[in-house]
Amino acid sequence: MTNRLSPFLGTMIIVGFAFLYGPIASVIVYSFNASRLVTVWAGFSTRWYVELLSNDQIRNAALTSFEIALISATGALILGTLAGFVLSRYRRFAGRTIFGGLITGPLVMPEVITGLSLLLLFVALGQAIGWPKERGVLTIAIAHITLGMAYVSVVVEARLSSFDRSLEEAALDLGAKPAKVFAVITLPLIAPALVAGWLLAFTLSLDDLVIASFTSGPSATTLPMVIFSSVRMGVSPQINALATLLLVAVAAAVLIAGRILARTRNSPTT
């Protein structure tokens, strides 16, 4: 095996990357365009970033999005960790296969179906028990939790399945009670997976459009919803600037999550 790429493979890689990232690169480049026309380059400028920051609608949508992302990532972390624990520690119980399938179901479920079914659920609940009175931040957050916890449970289960149980037994043997063992041994050792899971859930919530559109009400508009609706009126260079900022935030979160997971995998405990 040589490490050199054949000319064919090299070309394919360049074409592939261009196909995937060319459009994104053009968004970033045109976000610094001085012209009002999105497709005509008229020199470098940061005016759209300045205008963006003074746009109340977008600022409020950004705040709403972050609020939802914070709530849903935290909720997904708690529920997903519990599910991951059950799946990795209890290898045999009635309905385990179904439970595992249902937990990870949202990973493969079409978002339209998830969004529609949750919308119907919230409407039916509102009529039956009077809650939720209106859809908004809370209903979007609940919807995002169902999606996020699937990711968290997969990450946590993977970490726990490579976890050396004798570490916990050693702590127990040395006089630590089970709750103490969890706090001083298990938790610190799976913490990287928890952080990574939280960041993944946060990112998912931040850029979701479909589920949020189904489950939101008049009081809550998320950032992707604002972008989507304003693009229908024609692309404003402000949206390019916003997309660039969003891209940077998501890329940073994914990069950090990946780094943390990779470090855990390389550590001698696994």
Partner 1 sequence: MPGPGSRPASEGPIPHLVLANVAKRFPQAASPAVDGVSLELARGEFFALLGPSGCGKTTLLRMLAGFEMPDAGSIRIDGQDMGAVPPYARPVNMMFQSYALFPHMSVADNVGFGLRQAKRPKDEIAARVAAMLDLVKLGALARRKPGQLSGGEKQRVALARALINEPKLLLLDEPLTALDRKLREETRFELVRIQRRVGITFLMVTHDQEEAMSMASRIAVMEKGRIAQIGAPAEVYERPANRFVAGFLGAINLFEARVVAATNDLLTLDSVEIGARLTVTHDRVLPLGTEVALALRPEKLSLARMPDSRWNNSLAGTVRGVAYRGEASDVEIELTCGKIVRATMANIGGARDTLDIGQPIFAGWSGEAGVVLEQ
**Smallest gap from residue 85 Cβ to partner 1 (A):** 19
Element (H, E) at 105: helix 96-108
Closest separation in Å from C-beta 156 to partner 1: 18
The C-alpha torsion from 29 through 30 and 33 to 36, rounded to 10°, is 180
Q: How would DSSP label each residue in 31-93?
A: HTBSSSSTTS---B--HHHHHHHT-HHHHHHHHHHHHHHHHHHHHHHHHHHHHHHHHHH----
Q: Residue 51's closest CA among 29, 40, 36?
A: 36
Q: Residue 109 has what DSSP assignment?
A: S
247 binding partner 1? (CB under 8 A): no
Residue 91 touching partner 1 (CB under 8 A) = no
Using CB under 8 A as the binding rule, the residues of this chain from 165 to 184 that contact partner 1 are 166-167, 169-177, 180
Looking at the Cβ atoms of 170 and 251, the one nearer to partner 1 is 170
Nearest distance, CB of residue 97 and partner 1, angstroms: 18
262 binds partner 1 (CB under 8 A): no
**Nearest to partner 1 of 82, 172 (CB atom):** 172
Q: How far is the CB of 3 from partner 1 (least distance, A)?
A: 30
Work out whether 218 is an interface residue with partner 1 (CB under 8 A): no
What is the number of H-type helices and E-type strands within the chain?
Answer: 12, 0
How many residues bind partner 1, per CB under 8 A? 19
Is 269 a binding residue for partner 1 by CB under 8 A? The answer is yes
CB contact at 8 A, 189 and 174:
no
- Binding region for partner 1 (CB under 8 A) out of 51-59, 69-77, 185-193, 237-245: 185-193
User: Which of 5, 35, 38 is closest to 233 using CA atoms?
Assistant: 38
Chain residues in the site for partner 1 (CB under 8 A): 164, 166-167, 169-177, 180, 185, 188-189, 267-269
